[in-house]
Structure 1
Amino acid sequence: MERIRGVDDTPSEPPEKATKRDPMAHLEPTTQAFIDQLAAGGGPALYELSYEDARAVLRGAAGHQTKVAASVEDQTWATGPTGQLDVRIVRPEGASGPLPVILYCHGGGWVMGDKDTHEPLVRKLAAGVNAAVVFVSYTPAPDAQYPVQNEQAYAALEYVVAHAAELNVDASRLAIAGDSVGGNMTAILAQQAKARKGPAVTAQVLLYPVTDYMPDFESYRTFADGPWLTTKAMQYFWDAYLPDPTKAGETTVSPLRATPEQLSDLPEALVIVDENDILHEEGEAYARKLADAGVRTTSVRINGTFHDFLIVDGVAGTPAVTAALDLAVNFLKRKLA
C-alpha cells in the first residue's frame, strides 16, 4: 500500500540521540499496523506536495469505508461571501418531520477534505443522533483564504435558521460540530454567534480541533514527526490559509486567545482529542478555558490513536473510533432531544 504522504516517519535525529518520545509506542495494535504499512510505502511528505496532490492523498485515505444507510441531498445556496455555497444534507434513512440539525465543518487543513472524505462520519452522526447534518463545502485554501471559510460557515448557519421550514429541520434544536480545522471553525462559529447576536446554538462538538496558530505546546515537540499530522504539515496548512501571520492573534484565527468574557455563555461543549497528535494540548487548553469561563464542558482524550482517526479508512472500527462516536452521538442526542 502506498504511504500516506502526510506521515513523515523519518526522525529528525538518529534514534540513539533523539529526545522526542517515540509516538509509535502509544498506538493500539490495528492502528500501529496501519502506520507501519504506510511507513513501508515511502513517498514524499504531504507538505512537499502541490495542494491538488495533497487533496488526492486524503481522498485516497478516507471516505471508502462502509456507509450506514442515509438520505443524501446536495444543494447550492445563494449565500456567503462568494455568493454561492455548496452543502450536503444527510438525514437518517426514512426520517420524517422536522429533525434537529447539526451544522458540520470538515477538517483537512483548510486545503483538503470534502463531502466524500467525511461522508461515512457524517452518516454515522445523522443516524446515531436522528438529526439532519448540513455539511458545509467551504472553498478550500488557497483558492480562498482567511476569513472566507469562516464567513461561509456562518452564512450557512444563518441560512439554516432562516430556511428551516423548507429544509424540514427544527432550528430550535441546532448544534455545530467539526473536526481538526473544522473544529477551529466550529469554535469560532460559537463565538461569532454570540458576538453578532446570531443563531441560538444548543451545543458544540470539537473533534481534535485546531485552536491556536502554531502554539508552543509540548505536544508540538513530542509528535513533531507524526505519526500522522506533523508540525511541518500544519505550517503548510497555515501558509495556505493565513498568508499574513500578523493576524494569528485574532480570535477568528485562534479561538484559544478569546477572553473569558468572549467565551462566557457559549453553548455546552464536548471536546475530543487524541493522544498521538500535535494538537491535543491546544484542544484541551481550549476546553479548560471554556470551563473556566463557566461553559459546561466535557473534554476527553482518546488514547492509542492519531489525528483524523474518525475519518481514516485504515482504522475504521477500532476502539478509539467506536468510543469517540459514542461520546459525540450521546452528547448530541441529549442536547438536541
Structure 2
Amino acid sequence: MKEWGPILFQVLLVPITDNTATTSTNDCWKKFEKAPGLSAEKMLFYRELYLQNADTLHWEVSPLFASPEQFQKLPPALIVVAEVDILQSDGRRYAAKMEDYGVEAEVVVMKRLPHAALTLGGVLGEVEGFVQRICGAVRKAFDTRTSQIDSLPASHNTQIDR
C-alpha cells in the first residue's frame, strides 16, 4: 500500500467556513444578500439541502470553529475569495484564524467579481490570472516538497513514487 504522507498545501476557492452565517449575523451576507451567482436565499437553500439537521457549529461543518490544535495541524493555504460574494468573509476570517495559530495563509481577492467567477474563464479575461496564480502556488508547494524529499537519506526515499 502506498504511503501518501501529510497534506502539504491547501487551495480553498470561495470557501464556506461558517455555516452559521445569515444576513442578520454576518455583514458580508447582508451586503451581498442579492449578489449574482450566490444569493443569501440560494446559500440557505443549499445549506439545508446538504446539511439538513447537522450541527452547524461542528468544525467539520463550519471549519472556522475548529480547535486551536486542529488549526495548528493545517498545512499552508492559498484562499481565493470573490469580492462580490456573501462568502468573502468566510475565507478572510479562516485565513486570519490560521495565521493566529501560526499557519501561513494567503488571501487573494478577485476584485469586482462574484462567487462563480472562476467558472467564467472563457467570458472574463481576468480569471486566467487567478488560475495562473493558483497553479503557481501549487507548483511552488510541490517544488518545496520535492526539494525536501531529495534531501532525505536514500532509505527514506523508497516509499515515495514520483
TM bin (shorter chain)? 0.7 to 0.9
- 1:214, distance to aligned residue in structure 2 (A): 3.8
* Structure 1 residue 271 displacement after superposition: 0.5
| Aligned partner letter, 2:138 | L
CA–CA distance in 2 between the matches of 1:277 and 1:271? 14
Spell out the pairing of 1:130-141 with structure 2 (5 A cutoff): none
Residues 1:273 and 1:229: Cα distance change in structure 2 (over 3 Å): same
Q: Residue 309 of structure 1 aligns with which residue?
A: 117
Q: Which of 275, 294, 311 is the matching residue for 2:102? A: 294
Aligned-partner Cα distance in 2 for 1:287–1:313: 25
Whether the aligned pair in 1 keeps the contact of 2:84 and 2:112 (CA below 8 Å) is yes
AA in 2 matched with 1:268? P
Contact preservation (8 Å) 1:251, 1:257: yes
Distance 2:105 2:120 in 1: 27
CA distance in 1, matches of 2:41, 2:58: 22
How does the TM-score come out when normalised to structure 2? 0.80
Q: Report what 1:144 is aligned to.
A: none
Tell me by how many angstroms 1:304 deviates: 1.6
* Offset of residue 335 of structure 1: 0.5
Q: What is the deviation of 1:324?
A: 1.4
Unpaired stretches in structure 1, ≥5 consecutive residues: 1-161, 165-170, 172-198
Secondary structure of 1:336 counterpart: helix
Structure showing greater relative contact order (alpha-carbon pairs closer than 8 Å, 6 or more residues apart): 2
Is residue 278 of structure 1 aligned with residue 122 of structure 2?
A: no
Give the TM-score normalised by the residue count of structure 1: 0.40
Which residue is 2:58 aligned to?
A: 250
Give the C-alpha shift of residue 205 in structure 1: 0.4
User: Residue 113 of structure 2: SS of its match in structure 1?
Assistant: strand
Closer, same or farther: CA 311–334 of 1 in aligned 2, 3 Å: same
Is structure 2 residue 19 aligned with structure 1 residue 213? Answer: yes
CA distance, structure 2, for counterparts of residue 260 and residue 302 of structure 1: 29
The residue type equivalent to 2:67 in the other structure is: T
- 5+ residue gaps, structure 2, are 144-162
Counterparts of 1:331 and 1:237, CA distance in 2:
30
What does 1:115-130 correspond to in 2, within 5 Å? none
Aligned residue type for 1:327: R
**Counterpart in 2 of 1:322?**
128
Whether the 8 Å contact between 2:72 and 2:98 is mirrored in structure 1 is yes
AA matched with 1:200: P
Distance in 1 separating the partners of 2:43 and 2:98: 24
1:239 equivalent among 22, 28, 48: 48
Counterpart in the other structure of 1:98: none
Overall identity of the aligned pairs, in %: 31
> By how many angstroms is 1:313 displaced?
5.8
Correspondence for 1:266: 74
For residues 254 and 260 of structure 1, what CA distance do their matches in structure 2 show? 14
Q: C-alpha root-mean-square deviation of aligned residues, in Å?
A: 1.7
Question: Could you list the runs of 4 or more consecutive aligned residues of structure 1 that deviate by over 4 angstroms after TM superposition?
Answer: none
Alignment CA distance shift 1:258-1:309 (3 Å)? same
The alpha carbon displacement at 1:315 in A equals 2.9
Counterpart of 1:202, as a letter, is L
Letter of the 2:110 partner, please give it: I
Structure 1 residues 214 and 315, CA gap change in structure 2 (3 angstroms): farther
Q: Across the two proteins, how many residue pairs are aligned to each other?
A: 140
Give, in whole Å, the separation in 1 of the partners of 2:112 and 2:90.
Answer: 18
Pick the structure with more strand per residue: 1
Structure 1 partner of 2:141:
335
How much does 1:314 deviate? 6.0
2: CA distance, partners of 1:327 / 1:314: 17
1:270, CA displacement in angstroms? 0.5
Aligned to 1:203: 9
SS in 2 for 1:310: helix
